[in-house]
Structure 1
Amino acid sequence: MANGVERESELVMIFSDEELREMSGVGRGLDYIEVTCGCTSHRYGDAVGRLRVFQNGDLEITCECTPGCQEEKLTPAAFEKHSGRETARKWKNNVWVIVNGEKVPLFKTVLLKYYNQASKNANGSNRSHNGRLCHRDEFVRCSRCNKERRFRLRTKEECRIHHDALADVNWKCSDLPYDKYAAPYIT
């Protein structure tokens, strides 16, 4: 029984109280964290929902745009499209949560810390020609110069560096670790 109690407390602590303290509508489940989220359309205004972030990295949104809306278990991209967002396909920028009373894009929060797109590809398209798992490169925007910087995701260390940068709201280009292969191209 003691193992069951330890396991339960382990699942609930996906994010620390410190990380979630200023977010609006925080709720904890057995294996997920739930927060109030939304997406703004210039034509239709705000569509509000409940974002669940599961321990395995899955994201799921239950739409609450109108009292009769029956949309549940939407991906963030599907929620963005459902809300009528004109520039869909940038859900990390367009779907927001309320932090300290302001709308903050998902990519600027810690909520994407465990997000893993590779688990979504059930057809094996995330495998290279030799059959080994591979990752696509990801980008993080600099908070100082507003440029997007590429992160290679080939090893666990590179993935950890990317996730740490993604979780840091004040990430800057100077925080990017030195890459001996990219050095000749830096000006």
Structure 2
Amino acid sequence: MANGVERESGLMVFSDEELREMSGVKKDGEYIEVTCGCTSHRYGDAVGRLRVFSNGDLEITCECTPGCNEDKLTPAAFEKHSGRETARKWKNNVWVIVNGEKVPLSKTVLLKYYNQALKNGNGSHRSHNGQVCHCDEFVLCTSCNEERRSRLRTKEECLIRHNALADKNWKCSDLPYDK
């Protein structure tokens, strides 16, 4: 057990201590389920069941009314479904009950494995306009001991950077756009 988390056959499990004071906790082999909700000033509380899966996915089954059939909602979709006026801040607006108090998801351990960056673009690096982009990275010069930025916007620039990382005697003068 490391950092209060057990890993059994690839599945994450929160420790009993982390989940002790949360309301409606159910453990399954694939996920942890807790009672959650979102408050709208106009409609009041919409209650649901939040499932936190071992891969970090979050899924909410809405229980706002007996006839509600909303199932497998993302937290953002649940926030919108509940009629929240200031949607798009689901980490602060969707809550779980801890010690009888409504606590935003952002202040709980339930988001420990959640990573939105991996959810956007299915692992590809896409900017807001849909264009593929790379982050700039740095290469250390062996002669002046300075880190130099290598641009990663084209395949050629990526190749230059990979070659620079492979070259143990790489120097600033080897960068074609710094000459």
Query: What is the TM-score of this pair, normalised by structure 1?
Result: 0.62
Cα drift, residue 126 of structure 1: 4.5
In structure 2, the partner of 1:98 is 97
Letter paired with 1:44:
Y
Structure 1 unaligned residues grouped into runs of 5+: 1-5, 133-187
What SS does the aligned partner of 1:87 have? coil
What SS does the aligned partner of 2:14 have? coil
Cα drift, residue 131 of structure 1: 8.2
Question: Structure 1: how far apart are the matches of 2:53 and 2:126?
Answer: 21
Give the alignment of 1:12-161 within 5 angstroms. 13-122=12-121, 124-126=124-126, 129-130=133-134
Q: Are the aligned partners of 1:118 and 1:126 in contact in 2 as well (CA < 8 Å)?
A: no
Q: Are the aligned partners of 2:125 and 2:134 in contact in 1 as well (CA < 8 Å)?
A: no
Question: Structure 1: how far apart are the matches of 2:47 and 2:94?
Answer: 10
Cα drift, residue 120 of structure 1: 1.4
Q: Which has the higher strand share?
A: 2
Cα drift, residue 30 of structure 1: 1.1
What SS does the aligned partner of 2:118 have? helix
Structure 2 unaligned residues grouped into runs of 5+: 1-7, 137-179
Question: Structure 2: how far apart are the matches of 1:57 and 1:41?
Answer: 26
What SS does the aligned partner of 2:50 have? strand
Question: Structure 2: how far apart are the matches of 1:126 and 1:59?
Answer: 22
Q: Which runs of 4+ in 1 moved over 3 A?
A: 125-128
Q: Are the aligned partners of 2:62 and 2:71 in contact in 1 as well (CA < 8 Å)?
A: yes
Letter paired with 1:129:
C
Larger radius of gyration: 2
Query: What is the TM-score of this pair, normalised by structure 2?
Result: 0.64
**CA shift in 2, pair 1:33/1:131, >3 Å:** same
Equivalences, count: 124
